Amino acid sequence: MHGVKEEYHGYCNNILRDCVWEVKSVDDYPNEYESATFRINNEAIAEFHLDNTIYFETWTTLYIGDELHLNININNDGLIAESWNFDWLILSLSEDAIELAANNSISLLEKNCTIDCSLGRYQVCELTTDPGFAEFSLEDYLICNIIPNTHDLVSPILFTFYETEEDSYNGTNSISNTQYLNVENSQTIYVRIEYVETSEVFEIIIEAISCFFS
């Protein structure tokens, strides 16, 4: 039994590093954080992505008796912590989904591998009615961003998006982080990040591409 536990524990830890895990509602257990995502990045740092903010956290898997648990601890003193900071019992585990139970509630996390960070740009299928243009949820691409070396890996990071570099440095005329229609193809978007008393700006390239579905 001990060997089986170790194997299952290792399997759990390995799949947690694959892509991102998106929060889904379960029948009879609606989740106000639906579409938020959890991620363990390449530096083994756990992140909770909610809207245009990244919160840092710890994920720890452990056995209690014969039951596998996932302990989540998000660095937050408010409602987020009250909703997620529990020792969750893993009810079911597969390559694509994790079902968790704690505090008389059930949460479902589903793997989402939609965005390919290796491309170095954010590609979205163009609109069928307007080739060369697409609607981008810019905040979704934050899973690909490297956390600044100066960050303390504790404080939340706030992201805002801009069409011009000048606006990004001034923090003015931000654009939608969830429903942005590109104005040219491809296009540079400027991303302002803020944490503690620091702000930085970097660029991402967005591109509308032709997609064919059979």
pLDDT confidence bin for 149, thresholds 50/70/90: confident
The per-residue pLDDT for 16 is 63
Domain coordinates in residue numbering, the chain: 2-112, 117-209
pLDDT at residue 11 tops 80: no
Question: pLDDT band at residue 125, thresholds of 50, 70 and 90?
Answer: very high
Architecture field, domain 2-112 = Beta Barrel (2.40)
| Residue 185 CB-density burial (10 A; 0-12 exposed, 13-18 middle, 19+ buried) | middle
Coil, helix or strand at residue 106: strand
Going by their DSSP bridges, the two strands 157-162 and 187-195 should be labelled as: antiparallel
